[in-house]
Chain A
Amino acid sequence: MSDLDRAIEQLRACRLIPESQVRELCYKARELLIEEGNVVSVDAPVTICGDIHGQFHDLMELFRVGGDVPDTNYLFMGDFVDRGFYSLESFLLLLCLKVRYPDRMTLIRGNHESRQITTVYGFYDECIRKYGSANVWRYCCEVFDYLALGAIVLGASSELEPTTSSANDTTQSTMPIDDTELETEVLNSRGEVTMSTYRPRQRSSSDASTDSRNISPPRDISAAPGQLGAPTRSGAPGTGAGGDSNGSAPGSRTGAVLCVHGGLSPLIDSVDKIRLIDRKQEVPHEGAMCDLLWSDPDEIEGWGLSPRGAGFLFGGDIVKQFNHLNGLSLVARAHQLVMEGYKEMFDGGIVTVWSAPNYCYRCGNVAAILELGEDTSSGGTVARSNGEYGRSNGVMGADSLSTVVSPGRRYRVFEAAAQDTRGMPAKKPVADYFL
């Protein structure tokens, strides 16, 4: 067994590795990350995860629900550290897995992967407490500077393979009718389907698109059965101009998926612009790099000021235009606590994925991960356009805004791990309240 495998084993048991080993690990990780572009290309199938925030036991639960590494291909969208009690164990484990299985583990940077934020929100203190000096914090911060800013997922299938596990009687999925494909599916941590939506299978004829892929908001899961209504989504997902205009990608009509921690930036109108950023630095207080890590989607038009004091708010029109110009079908991001674990907005143009259940041991929320399946219709070949296909020359008809089909999306929702039952040290975290 290699040192790395031993370290992984140790960290999985929530036990820290010696400082010298951390130093070596961080060095290796940097060597690996320096080779990555600002926007990493990832092939589906992939499981996309949101904030972890040092909730180590919940990260273990995530692996239990989503599958272990390297069996499952993971993409973590940042905020590994701060707030929780086990930022070190969580981040070092992810980093070990990255070094051990570089092709099965993608890590991108969150706004908490920063020197400034970690000194306020707990990671710095944790390093001092657990290692007795700031050395390990410094090694980790150097790794943070090399993390990619985003990822592009290619080759995701528009249709989900239905989950075979039998649904119990509380399941609200409705039977698919002919000529529909499974678009979204929500599963609980036992692998039972709690909701599914279908859309008409794409036809060769070009029926006019009034694309309304707005799936029912997550809170509807708990609503009365039947409220979900018709199993099909009205309107066909357009003529798939993304695929049409990209003859080199037969069968791959699904647009690429951009993954970033926060969101879009008024300074960034194309994925290529992200690639031009000099990322190897502390997260700046403003500018494109800051925005990608700090911004939030909001029900506004255009851009707005962020109440966070960094980044911007951006509306559905911004997302729609960005996705169109870049041949994207979806922006997946994290950064915001959503009580239901995930939240789709703007007709499914953007999704927030949140993977820290009962955030800060206080919020009572569930968490989710997003699985994108592999498009096997073209024999496994993947369009290598890095999110550039579908890009028009700036002339854009109003009806061509939805030209690519969104990928089939399987959300696995899970709750906080019951710590004492899983052989982990059951140090009960104490959340702060006003007393």
Chain B
Amino acid sequence: MAAPQIPNLNSLRRGRGRGRGIGRSTDNGPESRPSGKDRIVQGTDNDASVSRLSAVDLGYLTDAYATALTPRGSATRRFPIINRGTYVRTTAIDQLVTSFLGLYTPEQTQAKRKQIISLGAGSDTRVFRILSSRQPSDLVYHEIDFAVNTTSKIQAIRSTPQLQQALGINTPDAEVSISEMGDALHSPSYHIHPVDLRSLSVNSDRDLSTILPGVERELPTLLVSECCLIYLTPSEAEQVVKFFTEHLFQSESQPTIPLGLVLYEPIRPDDAFGRTMVSNLATRGIQLQTLHKYASLEAQRCRLKEQGFGDGQAGADIEFIWKNWVYEEEKERVAGLEMLDEMEEWQLLARHYCIAWGWRDGSDASVFQGWTTLKAQSDN
């Protein structure tokens, strides 16, 4: 049965149930009692995982972990337009991430280790895909999300040997620890943090090692926000970014380390499609709070520049990326998977989502070298 026809009440209900059932320790701050709005935002993760599984099942994406991380029974075939969007979004971010990590060679040394911090990661599968294809020792991957979401992810990992294997924690002697609450996981190359992003503040006097244990402050780092920061207020979103640029990865005792940010979020709220999007999401209780502030590619570039990524800022909408990043042969393959009957609708939808990326070179300008060669969109 096609999902789009049916209001996905289940995802909301599920979020609510979990939120209530789990007693939270108090030391994680505001997220211990999720407000109604937070629950809805938490529920959006289900949307994303269902879309991903749909794209995987139809052959758009190869992702061995999509099934394990989608709630059982919620698999649904999405419309072709959504599948193509999921494909472009995923492969484009993959490309940025791969470029940051550099080509994997078995001889790679400890010195080239890098770090990824995924904000609001939810049930994202990227970490499994990356770690299963590389030497785990050259990467530290962090995911930060509401405890509700991290708990269900950790449950999935616990019950799925395939996921443990991807993380390299399937052996009896694996160094892995899971918190008593089941909401935090720590292993040499993968950490799950049950943290409300809003509690990350420059002014925090808390010991960094307790907020985000395992984060290595001297590693070149990539921050990823896939439809995450947009749910925060503009000042909260800025605070979160500043926490990383000015607090965590800035210290007087050592040279500035390379730091990048990849954003994926809606843009252009002020035309007919954008207005409808805002009002449709509002009826679901979803408010994209920074959408109007960062309403264009230009605004996204300014944001990146102003918020600590001074060495490069670029962006492109999903339509541009489909046209310019995807090889012709691959485009043909993808177009052949399903008949996409509405080109106009595709363009409308795809022009309202963008990927923006910015970086600071710090002590090593080679880290984000690859990003300079990606084709960016120059207009608004």
Q: Which A positions have Cβ atoms within 8 angstroms of B? A: 85, 111-112, 117, 120-122, 125-126, 128-129, 307-310, 336-339, 358-365, 428-435
Contact = CB atoms under 8 A, between A and B. Distances in A.
A364 B5 CA distance: 18
A336 B344 contact: yes
B272 A364 contact: yes
Nearest to B275: A364
Given A364-B271, A430-B4, A435-B48, 9 more contacts: A122-B79, A129-B1, A336-B343, A363-B348, A429-B7, A431-B4, A432-B51, A434-B266, A435-B286
B338 interface: yes
Nearest to A354: B344
B345 A359 contact: yes
B343 A434 contact: no
B1 A361 contact: no
Interface string B1-13: 1111111100000
Contacts of B371: none
B92 interface: no
A358 B336 CA distance: 28
Contacts of B353: 434
Contacts of B142: none
A361 B349 CA distance: 12
B121 to A, nearest CB: 14
A339 B335 contact: no
9 contacts: A121-B79, A122-B2, A336-B343, A336-B344, A362-B277, A362-B280, A363-B276, A430-B6, A434-B227
B248 interface: no
A337 B272 contact: no
Given A431-B4, A431-B280, A435-B227, A360 B345 contact: yes
A310 to B, nearest CB: 7
Interface in B253-294: 266, 271-277, 280-281, 283-284, 286
B283 A428 contact: yes
B193 interface: no
Contact of B4 (A310, A428, A432): A432
B341 interface: yes
A126 B276 CA distance: 24
Nearest to B271: A364
Contact of A309 (B266, B273, B340, B344): B340
Interface stretch (B63-71, B80-88, B168-176): B80-88
B89 interface: yes
Contacts of B89: 434
A432 B78 contact: yes
A117 B345 CA distance: 16
A366 to B, nearest CB: 8
Interface in B313-353: 335-336, 338-345, 348-349, 353
B339 A120 contact: yes
B47 interface: yes
A307 B276 contact: no
Contacts of B276: 358, 361-364, 431
Contacts of A338: 344
A359 B276 CA distance: 11
A364 B352 CA distance: 13
A309 to B, nearest CB: 6
Nearest to B350: A434
Contacts of A307: 335, 343
B135 interface: no
Given A122-B4, A432-B78, A434-B51, A363 B343 contact: no
A360 B345 CA distance: 9
Nearest to B3: A432
Nearest to A360: B345
A359 B338 CA distance: 20
A308 B80 CA distance: 12
Interface in B48-67: 48, 51
B44 interface: yes
Nearest to B339: A309
Contacts of A111: 341
Contacts of B274: 364
B252 to A, nearest CB: 40
B345 A337 contact: yes
A219 to B, nearest CB: 11
Nearest to B88: A434
B80 A120 contact: yes
B227 A120 contact: no
Nearest to B265: A434
B90 to A, nearest CB: 10
A363 to B, nearest CB: 6
A310 B339 contact: yes
B275 A125 contact: no
4 closest A-B pairs by beta carbon, nearest first, are A364-B272, A364-B276, A435-B44, A337-B344
Contact of B272 (A85, A125, A365, A433): A365
B273 A433 contact: no
Given A122-B2, A432-B78, A362 B273 contact: yes
Nearest to B231: A435
Contacts of B284: 430
Nearest to A337: B344
B37 to A, nearest CB: 14
B343 A85 contact: no
B283 A435 contact: no
A121 B3 CA distance: 11
B51 A363 contact: no
A22 B314 CA distance: 56
A68 B360 CA distance: 64
Given A359-B345, A362-B277, A120 B286 contact: no
B7 A430 contact: yes
A310 B47 CA distance: 31
